[in-house]
Amino acid sequence: MELLTIGELADRSGVATSALRFYETKGLIESERTNGNQRRYPRAALRRVSLVRAAQEVGLSLGEVAEALGTLPHDRTPTKNDWEKLSRSWRKRLDRQITELHALRNDLTDCIGCGCLSLKSCAIFNPGDAIAERGSGPRYLLGDEHIQPTA
């Protein structure tokens, strides 16, 4: 099997045919045509589709993916160097994202740990807001109003 039909590519990549045609209009993948005008994809298209999906995972829009792919040469097979540039920039983005998620995770853990009795220090629930207007003391999540009456 030299070339893939759009249906085969869809099956193998797990991406709907309609999405593949859509990707093609966006210049993300390319195809040859049969005499009867049907698309035929080289094996490389399968990797290309995976690349697109991977990039989406990383948080890139299709436009950004197209742009990134645009940095790869059209006239020749990409070299290791070509690829390294692309890959490095994505990895950077990935690293940043991982860092952010870790931070969020830690905040959540703190919130569980603290039982929300020390909301002052809770990053998630006090982002940029000048809190500490009521002095210290117990606070409740999602319903600040329940201040213990100074019994």
Partner DNA sequence: CTACAACTTCAAGTTCACTTGAAGTCAAGA
Partner DNA sequence: TCTTGACTTCAAGTGAACTTGAAGTTGTAG
Q: Per CB under 8 A, which region of 16-24, 31-39, 60-68, 85-93 contacts its own copies? A: 85-93
The single residue among 142, 148, 149, 151 that binds its own copies, judged by CB under 8 A, is: 142
Q: Are 11 and 45 in contact (CB under 8 A)?
A: no
Task: Tell the smallest beta-carbon distance from residue 148 to DNA (Å).
Answer: 30
Q: Per CB under 8 A, which region of 19-27, 31-39, 60-68, 121-129 contacts its own copies? A: 121-129
Q: Which is nearer to its own copies, 18 or 132 (CB)?
A: 132
Measure CA 15 to chain center.
17
Length of the chain: 151
Who contacts 126 (Cβ-Cβ below 8 Å, separation ≥6)?
119, 120
Tokens encoding 150? 């100074």
Q: Which residues contribute to the site for DNA (CB under 7 A)? A: 5-8, 10, 16-19, 21-23, 31, 34-39, 56, 61-63
Task: Tell the smallest beta-carbon distance from residue 137 to its own copies (Å).
Answer: 14
Q: In whole angstroms, how far apart are CA 133 and each of 11, 96, 120, 129, 130? A: 59, 34, 10, 11, 8
Q: In terms of Cα–Cα distance, which of 33, 30, 35, 40 is closest to 8?
A: 40
Which residues share a beta bridge with 14? none
Give one word for 137, left, alpha or beta, with left for phi > 0 and alpha for psi -120 to 50: left
Q: Which is nearer to DNA, 17 or 118 (CB)?
A: 17
136: partner contacted, choices DNA, its own copies, none (Cβ within 5-8 A by kind) = none
Residues in contact with its own copies by CB under 8 A are 1, 12-14, 42-44, 46-48, 50-51, 54, 57-58, 72, 77-78, 80, 83-84, 87-88, 90-91, 94-95, 97-98, 100-102, 104-105, 107-109, 111-112, 115-116, 119, 124-129, 131, 133, 140-146
